[in-house]
Amino acid sequence: MRLGVFGGTFDPVHLGHLLLAESCRESCRLDRVWFVPAGQPPHKTNHALTPAEKRIEMLKLAIGGHEAFDICRLEIDRPGPSYSYETLAAIRQQQPGAELFFLMGSDSLADLPTWREPAKICELAELVVVRRAGAEGPDWSRIEGLASKDRIDRFRRGAVEMPLVDIKSRDIRRRVAEGRSIRFMTPRAVEVYVQAQGLYLEQ
Protein backbone atom coordinates (compact mmCIF):
# COMPACT_ATOMS: atom_id res chain seq x y z
CA MET A 1 0.00 0.00 0.00
CA ARG A 2 1.18 3.51 -0.85
CA LEU A 3 0.12 5.54 2.17
CA GLY A 4 0.24 9.33 2.38
CA VAL A 5 0.65 10.85 5.85
CA PHE A 6 -0.54 14.45 6.18
CA GLY A 7 -0.07 16.10 9.56
CA GLY A 8 -1.28 19.44 10.85
CA THR A 9 -3.43 21.13 13.44
CA PHE A 10 -6.36 21.43 10.99
CA ASP A 11 -7.80 24.24 13.10
CA PRO A 12 -9.91 24.38 11.01
CA VAL A 13 -9.37 22.13 7.99
CA HIS A 14 -9.85 24.13 4.79
CA LEU A 15 -9.96 23.69 1.03
CA GLY A 16 -6.20 24.21 0.71
CA HIS A 17 -5.58 21.17 2.93
CA LEU A 18 -7.99 19.07 0.91
CA LEU A 19 -6.59 20.14 -2.44
CA LEU A 20 -3.03 19.42 -1.28
CA ALA A 21 -4.04 15.93 -0.17
CA GLU A 22 -5.89 15.21 -3.40
CA SER A 23 -3.07 16.57 -5.57
CA CYS A 24 -0.61 14.27 -3.78
CA ARG A 25 -2.96 11.29 -3.96
CA GLU A 26 -3.27 11.67 -7.70
CA SER A 27 0.33 12.62 -8.55
CA CYS A 28 1.94 9.99 -6.31
CA ARG A 29 -0.69 7.28 -6.99
CA LEU A 30 -1.41 6.93 -3.29
CA ASP A 31 -3.84 4.23 -2.18
CA ARG A 32 -4.71 6.07 1.02
CA VAL A 33 -4.11 9.46 2.64
CA TRP A 34 -4.25 9.69 6.42
CA PHE A 35 -4.90 13.10 7.96
CA VAL A 36 -3.03 13.21 11.28
CA PRO A 37 -4.31 16.01 13.54
CA ALA A 38 -1.69 17.13 16.03
CA GLY A 39 -2.21 16.72 19.75
CA GLN A 40 0.34 19.22 21.10
CA PRO A 41 2.28 20.68 18.16
CA PRO A 42 5.68 21.88 19.46
CA HIS A 43 5.95 24.62 16.79
CA LYS A 44 2.54 26.24 17.29
CA THR A 45 2.21 27.74 20.73
CA ASN A 46 0.87 31.19 19.75
CA HIS A 47 -2.81 30.26 20.13
CA ALA A 48 -4.88 27.80 22.10
CA LEU A 49 -5.89 24.85 19.97
CA THR A 50 -9.53 23.97 19.49
CA PRO A 51 -10.23 20.73 21.43
CA ALA A 52 -9.05 17.67 19.53
CA GLU A 53 -12.44 16.02 19.19
CA LYS A 54 -13.89 19.12 17.54
CA ARG A 55 -10.99 19.29 15.08
CA ILE A 56 -11.54 15.62 14.31
CA GLU A 57 -15.25 16.21 13.80
CA MET A 58 -14.46 18.97 11.29
CA LEU A 59 -12.08 16.63 9.47
CA LYS A 60 -14.77 13.96 9.30
CA LEU A 61 -17.18 16.47 7.79
CA ALA A 62 -14.56 17.65 5.30
CA ILE A 63 -13.38 14.27 3.98
CA GLY A 64 -16.64 12.35 4.27
CA GLY A 65 -17.38 10.43 1.08
CA HIS A 66 -13.77 10.28 -0.14
CA GLU A 67 -12.92 6.60 -0.16
CA ALA A 68 -9.13 7.18 -0.02
CA PHE A 69 -9.09 9.69 2.85
CA ASP A 70 -9.10 8.76 6.54
CA ILE A 71 -8.17 10.18 9.93
CA CYS A 72 -5.35 8.83 12.11
CA ARG A 73 -5.67 9.55 15.85
CA LEU A 74 -2.11 8.63 16.82
CA GLU A 75 -1.00 12.12 17.84
CA ILE A 76 -4.31 12.98 19.49
CA ASP A 77 -4.25 9.85 21.63
CA ARG A 78 -0.54 10.04 22.48
CA PRO A 79 0.38 12.25 25.47
CA GLY A 80 2.97 14.95 25.16
CA PRO A 81 4.19 16.93 22.14
CA SER A 82 3.48 15.59 18.65
CA TYR A 83 6.70 14.73 16.84
CA SER A 84 6.44 13.59 13.24
CA TYR A 85 9.24 11.05 13.43
CA GLU A 86 7.46 9.24 16.27
CA THR A 87 4.22 9.25 14.30
CA LEU A 88 5.87 7.84 11.19
CA ALA A 89 7.63 5.15 13.24
CA ALA A 90 4.34 4.15 14.85
CA ILE A 91 2.55 4.01 11.49
CA ARG A 92 5.34 1.91 10.04
CA GLN A 93 4.97 -0.50 12.96
CA GLN A 94 1.20 -0.67 12.42
CA GLN A 95 1.49 -0.97 8.64
CA PRO A 96 4.77 -2.85 8.04
CA GLY A 97 4.00 -3.49 4.39
CA ALA A 98 3.10 0.10 3.52
CA GLU A 99 5.30 2.55 1.66
CA LEU A 100 4.99 5.85 3.52
CA PHE A 101 4.81 9.27 1.88
CA PHE A 102 5.06 12.32 4.14
CA LEU A 103 3.09 15.21 2.63
CA MET A 104 4.27 18.76 3.31
CA GLY A 105 4.25 22.25 1.84
CA SER A 106 7.46 23.83 0.60
CA ASP A 107 7.40 26.18 3.62
CA SER A 108 7.52 23.15 5.92
CA LEU A 109 10.50 21.78 4.01
CA ALA A 110 12.42 24.97 4.83
CA ASP A 111 11.66 24.44 8.54
CA LEU A 112 12.36 20.69 8.55
CA PRO A 113 15.95 20.95 9.89
CA THR A 114 14.55 22.54 13.07
CA TRP A 115 12.15 19.62 13.73
CA ARG A 116 12.91 16.79 16.14
CA GLU A 117 14.97 14.05 14.43
CA PRO A 118 14.57 15.35 10.85
CA ALA A 119 16.94 12.73 9.41
CA LYS A 120 14.68 9.98 10.76
CA ILE A 121 11.70 11.60 9.01
CA CYS A 122 13.64 11.43 5.73
CA GLU A 123 14.51 7.80 6.46
CA LEU A 124 11.04 6.60 7.45
CA ALA A 125 9.10 8.11 4.55
CA GLU A 126 9.38 9.58 1.10
CA LEU A 127 9.06 13.35 1.38
CA VAL A 128 6.37 14.70 -0.94
CA VAL A 129 6.86 18.45 -1.12
CA VAL A 130 4.05 20.51 -2.58
CA ARG A 131 4.41 23.93 -4.11
CA ARG A 132 1.60 26.18 -5.24
CA ALA A 133 1.42 27.01 -8.94
CA GLY A 134 3.45 30.12 -9.70
CA ALA A 135 5.35 29.97 -6.41
CA GLU A 136 9.08 29.45 -6.13
CA GLY A 137 10.25 25.86 -6.02
CA PRO A 138 11.33 24.16 -2.77
CA ASP A 139 14.81 24.94 -1.46
CA TRP A 140 16.25 21.44 -1.35
CA SER A 141 19.56 22.71 -0.01
CA ARG A 142 17.79 23.06 3.36
CA ILE A 143 17.86 19.28 3.87
CA GLU A 144 21.39 18.55 2.67
CA GLY A 145 22.96 16.27 5.22
CA LEU A 146 19.62 14.84 6.38
CA ALA A 147 19.57 12.21 3.63
CA SER A 148 21.83 10.95 0.88
CA LYS A 149 22.11 12.92 -2.35
CA ASP A 150 20.35 10.12 -4.24
CA ARG A 151 17.46 10.12 -1.80
CA ILE A 152 17.10 13.91 -1.94
CA ASP A 153 17.12 13.67 -5.75
CA ARG A 154 14.27 11.17 -5.49
CA PHE A 155 12.35 13.53 -3.21
CA ARG A 156 12.92 16.30 -5.77
CA ARG A 157 11.58 14.18 -8.63
CA GLY A 158 8.50 13.35 -6.56
CA ALA A 159 7.59 16.97 -5.81
CA VAL A 160 3.96 17.90 -6.51
CA GLU A 161 2.46 21.10 -7.84
CA MET A 162 -1.04 22.16 -6.82
CA PRO A 163 -3.27 25.03 -7.96
CA LEU A 164 -2.71 28.35 -6.23
CA VAL A 165 -4.99 28.40 -3.18
CA ASP A 166 -3.85 30.90 -0.58
CA ILE A 167 -6.01 29.93 2.40
CA LYS A 168 -4.69 29.71 5.94
CA SER A 169 -6.40 28.42 9.06
CA ARG A 170 -5.33 31.48 11.06
CA ASP A 171 -7.03 33.73 8.49
CA ILE A 172 -10.25 31.73 8.82
CA ARG A 173 -10.11 32.03 12.62
CA ARG A 174 -9.53 35.77 12.35
CA ARG A 175 -12.40 36.24 9.89
CA VAL A 176 -14.79 34.36 12.17
CA ALA A 177 -13.72 36.51 15.13
CA GLU A 178 -14.35 39.64 13.02
CA GLY A 179 -17.79 38.41 11.94
CA ARG A 180 -16.72 38.00 8.31
CA SER A 181 -17.65 35.28 5.83
CA ILE A 182 -15.62 32.08 5.43
CA ARG A 183 -17.83 30.74 2.63
CA PHE A 184 -15.87 28.78 0.00
CA MET A 185 -12.73 28.76 2.20
CA THR A 186 -13.71 25.53 3.93
CA PRO A 187 -16.33 22.90 3.08
CA ARG A 188 -19.86 24.08 3.78
CA ALA A 189 -20.37 21.38 6.42
CA VAL A 190 -17.30 22.64 8.31
CA GLU A 191 -18.50 26.23 8.04
CA VAL A 192 -21.87 25.26 9.53
CA TYR A 193 -20.14 23.29 12.31
CA VAL A 194 -17.94 26.29 13.20
CA GLN A 195 -21.05 28.46 13.46
CA ALA A 196 -23.06 25.91 15.44
CA GLN A 197 -20.23 25.33 17.93
CA GLY A 198 -19.37 29.01 18.28
CA LEU A 199 -15.72 28.35 17.39
CA TYR A 200 -13.14 31.09 16.85
CA LEU A 201 -15.35 33.91 18.10
CA GLU A 202 -12.51 35.13 20.30
CA GLN A 203 -8.92 35.35 19.10
Tens digit of pLDDT for each residue in 35-54? 999 998 776 556 689 999 99
Q: For residues 72-85, give the mean pLDDT.
A: 94
Helix (H, G, I), strand (E, B) or coil at 132: strand
The answer to whether the beta carbons of residues 14 and 167 sit under 8 Å apart is yes
Determine the pLDDT at residue 166.
86
Determine the pLDDT at residue 45.
57
Evaluate if residue 114 carries a pLDDT over 60: yes
Q: Give kind and range of the element (H or E) at residue 25.
A: helix 15-27
Q: Rounded to the nearest 5 degrees, what angle is found at the Cα of 57, between the Cα atoms of 182 and 44?
A: 70
**Domain range 2-167, CATH architecture:** 3-Layer(aba) Sandwich (3.40)
> Could you tell me which residue, 110 or 200, shows the higher pLDDT?
200
Determine the pLDDT at residue 46.
61
Determine the pLDDT at residue 132.
76
Determine the pLDDT at residue 199.
97
Evaluate if residue 86 carries a pLDDT over 90: yes
Domains in the chain: boundaries: 2-167
